[in-house]
Amino acid sequence: MSRAVTTRRKTINTVLAWSIGILIFFPILWTILTSFKTEAQAINDPPLFLFFDWTLENYSVVQERSDYMRFLWNSVIIAGGSTLIGVMIAIPAAWSMAFVPSRRTKDILLWMLSTKMLPAVGVLYPIYLIFIELGLLDTRIGLVVVIMLINLPIIVWMLYTYFKEIPGEILEAARMDGASLREEIIYVLTPMAVPGIASTMLLNFILAWNEAFWTLNLTAAQAAPLTAFIASYSSPEGLFYAKLSAASTMAIAPILILGWFSQKQLVRGLTFGAVK
């Protein structure tokens, strides 16, 4: 029997949740507001919150100075390509770990996750030399591969936890009906884990979209995504906060819209298997 939750407890939880949400979202809100200010208003002391002269000048300057659509297209290809390839590799890997018993499964998962603890700068030099040798420097293919490999441990780990919630008896029944290994993964396992796969793809798409270290070090002009687009507004002359905020807003707008429309799927995937 579940315990009754008092109205006071609900109110406290609601206020606390809204407070944390506003605190987390405030830097994004401040960036958006700053993008509509003039440069003088952006550095005004005390800061101006809502009462300032709203202007679209920064957006027009950013659009004139940079080819925003080229950076956007590069980001879509790099983030989308690395996520799709990563999921295609991770689904069979997670299946084998979840449904083929092994005493080493947890050790392998921990080892994979430990690779995320390595500072990226520690492997920059060898990867940079490999890219030069293979002609992958400043190419979208090169960035797709390196970002996919960086995020692959997280994809495998997340899919493994989702697959573990699926009863193995269902897969055994499919095998008894004559399903091959390929058919078992594609037609039985994958449809049942769609919420988990979708949330995994969304989270890793966001990680790839926001990746800055590798995109700044392995690109110059041709394959530069939106992270390089933002970095281009940091110049030796100083920071132009209003224009930098406009560029940042243009860079995060697509991913904010994607997150907003897919939030139900994301929540469903993150709670997949939590309630029996």
d(CA 63, CA 44): 25
Indicate the pLDDT class of residue 236, thresholds 50, 70 and 90.
low
**What local confidence, expressed as pLDDT, does residue 1 receive?**
46
Of 160, 167, 161, nearest to 188 (Cα)?
167
Give the range with max mean pLDDT: 62-66, 141-145, 260-264.
141-145
Region 250-269: mean pLDDT is: 78
Q: Which of 89 and 167 is assigned the larger pLDDT?
A: 89
Convert 247-260 to b/e letters by CB count within 10 Å (16 or more is b): bbbbbbeebeeeee
Q: What is the pLDDT of residues 33-82, one digit of tens each?
A: 999 998 888 888 888 888 888 888 889 888 888 888 899 999 999 999 99
The strand pair at 234-235 and 238-239 is best described as antiparallel
**What local confidence, expressed as pLDDT, does residue 275 receive?**
44
Indicate the pLDDT class of residue 3, thresholds 50, 70 and 90.
low
Contact predicate 223/143, CB 8 Å: yes
| DSSP codes of every residue in 36-98 | TS-HHHHT-SSPPSS-S----HHHHHHHHHS-HHHHHHHHHHHHHHHHHHHHHHHHHHHHHHH
**What local confidence, expressed as pLDDT, does residue 145 receive?**
94
Which domains are present in the chain? 66-232 (1.10.3720.10)
Beta bridge partners of residue 238, listed in sequence order:
235
Q: What's the alpha-carbon Rg for the chain, to the nearest Å?
A: 23
User: 0.75 cut: is pTM over it?
Assistant: yes
What is the pLDDT of the chain when averaged over all its residues?
A: 85
> Which two structure tokens, joined as six digits, stand for 79?
């983030």
User: In 10 A of CB 69, how many CB atoms?
Assistant: 9
d(CA 162, CA 94): 9
Q: What is the pLDDT of residues 83-136, one digit of tens each?
A: 999 999 999 899 888 888 778 888 888 888 888 888 888 889 899 999 999 999
Is the pLDDT score of 272 beyond 60? Answer: no
Contact predicate 99/163, CB 8 Å: yes
Longest dimension (CA), the chain: 73
Region 207-229: mean pLDDT is: 89
Is the pLDDT score of 160 beyond 50? Answer: yes
- φ, ψ for residue 227, nearest 5 deg: -65, -40
